[in-house]
Amino acid sequence: MAGTVDIVLRCLTGMRALGPALRFDPALPPEVKQLRFSVHYRGQRVDVDLAEDRIRLGVRPGGTSPVNLLVHGQAVELAPGQERELLLEHAP
C-alpha cells in the first residue's frame, strides 16, 4: 500500500530528488483539487500543500540547514521554520 501512495504522490506532484534539491513539477488532474502531505528529506520534514493554482512549502522548525527546492524550475531555499507559497501557471 505504501508503494501505491508513493507512486501517486510522485506522479501528481512531480516530486523528485534532483542533486541537492527536491524538485516539484505538479500536474493535478481536474478531479483532484488539493493534496497535503509531508516528506522527510535530508533530515528535515517538508510540508507540502498543493492546490490547482498554488503550492505551499514549509520546513518544520528544529533543523540546522536550509532545504533547497525547485518548483517548475524556480529555486526556493527554505530555512527551518520558514514557508513559502508559489502560484502555479498552467498552459492554456
Model confidence over 7-62: pLDDT tens digits?
777 888 999 998 899 999 998 888 989 999 999 999 999 999 999 999 999 999 99
C-alpha cell at 20: 541537492
Domain ranges, residue 40? 2-87
How many residues are recorded in the chain? 92
Number of domains in the chain: 1
66 part of a folded domain? yes
Stated pTM of the model: 0.88
Contact 40, 47 (CB under 8 A): no
Domain CATH number, residue 14 = 2.60.420.10
pLDDT confidence of 90, banded at 50, 70, 90? low
Q: Is residue 92 part of a domain?
A: no
